[in-house]
Structure 1
Amino acid sequence: MTLLDKDGVHLTADDAIATVTLTNPDKRNAQSPATWRALAEAGQALPGSVRVVVLRAEGKSFSAGLDRQAFTPEGFDGEPSFPELARRSDPELDAVIAGYQEAFTWWRRHDLISVAAVQGHAIGAGFQLALACDLRVCADDVQFAMRETSLGLVPDLTGTHPLVSLVGYARALEICLTGRFVHAEEAERTGLANLVVPAAELDAAVRDLTAALLAAPRDAVIETKALLRGAGERTYEEQRAAERAAQARRLRDLAGLGE
């Protein structure tokens, strides 16, 4: 069932599985503020039955990042150009960027598992969109790069936190400051990619992973994800306590004693 189809973003849902597809292959799925609004809208349109969201892209590239039209004086029709944004007050500018970030935040909701199927280039905003997902299955031709710093900017679409969490501070700093490509072998070795497969097998690999993710009971998946997501912010003793509380809820639910 198609739930959304606008501005290069297509959303379908089939019971427990939703698929978000970037549909502008002629521009290598370059992103714009309209893309980000559509992605945020896709998150809001998900039915309650959805447990796994697959993010994929048409064409040879996952996403080449921000559409370079953003750097022109005129920018996009109906959108503030970068020079115009720079002249806004701090609260106004903060609100605009926060709005852009909404496209990247909902993928890690506790009640969802999100899987990015990444092929070809995933640059800048494309890299950050892949990082927004819980898991990444990559084709063997994948090329990640964070180019914002090279353009005089910073990665501001929520990608810095997961990047540091996955590869560590030193490697994340080097990737961002050099803007170099991270290819499939390094992506898998450093944890950026959960799995690397031949490009022709990408869709099949994602289907297999999705089926495996759906095998466990939903409430147990939600509790486990919450435990793991919060582990880095808790002390060892706090994490032990969180485990006990989560297990108590699961035991009571399985015994029919839950609220």
Structure 2
Amino acid sequence: MEIINNKIAIIEKVLGKPYYKDERTILYNIDSLKGMELLSHKKLVNLTVTSPPYNIGKEYEKVMSVEDYISWSENWINLVYENTEENGSFWLNVGYMPIKDKGKAIPIPYLLWDKTKFFMIQELIWNYSAGVAAKKSLSPRNEKILWYVKNQNKYTFNLDDIRDPNVKYPNQKKNGKIRVNPLGKNPSDVWQIPKVTSGKNRSAKERVPHPAQTPIELFKRIILASSKKNDLVLDPFIGSGTTAVISKSLDRYCLGFELNKDYLDIAIDRIKNEKIDQQPLF
């Protein structure tokens, strides 16, 4: 506890009074690049998990040129690197964007995957059933998650905490011994998790008034896999507060940045009132 208390004290000393703070959460109403730059080289963060703007014209973003978006992304991603402990991880959830005269739905990982000092472990596919219906192309039903680590030889990975109990042959034996881990199998790199849908008849239970809400189950698996209890989890684009809700419920600490006070107020309400299950669902 002394380590995390020291980290929180450093954050407050550097960044000043937070917009919101409780026993597991500290949120700031400032630009994430500014916040991370002020904290850079402190190396306080164990895990960063986030879903940044996709540059597609959502209400919280101003559309940039492709070149400017890549440059902006490279800046904030490398600030994440400077804030990460030696054995820390970074999970980046991104979708698609159009590029004029080049393509309609270009996967953002194609543009960003190597714009960082982090070492990339692998790409995961987040597959969901509901989404936009297309008329002149296939209907999109997935986004990507890039998993990075700072030190490829030493990083936190809690496989047992995210094992998939849905084993096809749970009693299969070899030389008289059960072959399958009793906790389940290693999950694949394709995760089937519903989106946080909206609408009168199909609105998800966890839905709040945010235009791009990340589902709890998606980030919960990541936080369970790549952090330990009392670790510090950073979300530079905290939005509706999903990362903070999960971190608090799983006995982690969360540092979040958000420019929009309305979103912060939504996040705070969720942090105070929303509870989640401790284990991931499959």
In terms of fraction of residues, the more strand-rich structure is: 2
One fold, TM greater than 0.5?
no
TM-score by length of 1: 0.31
* Greater share of residues in helix: 1
Larger relative contact order, structure 1 or 2 (CA cutoff 8 Å, min sep 6): 2
TM value normalised by structure 2? 0.29
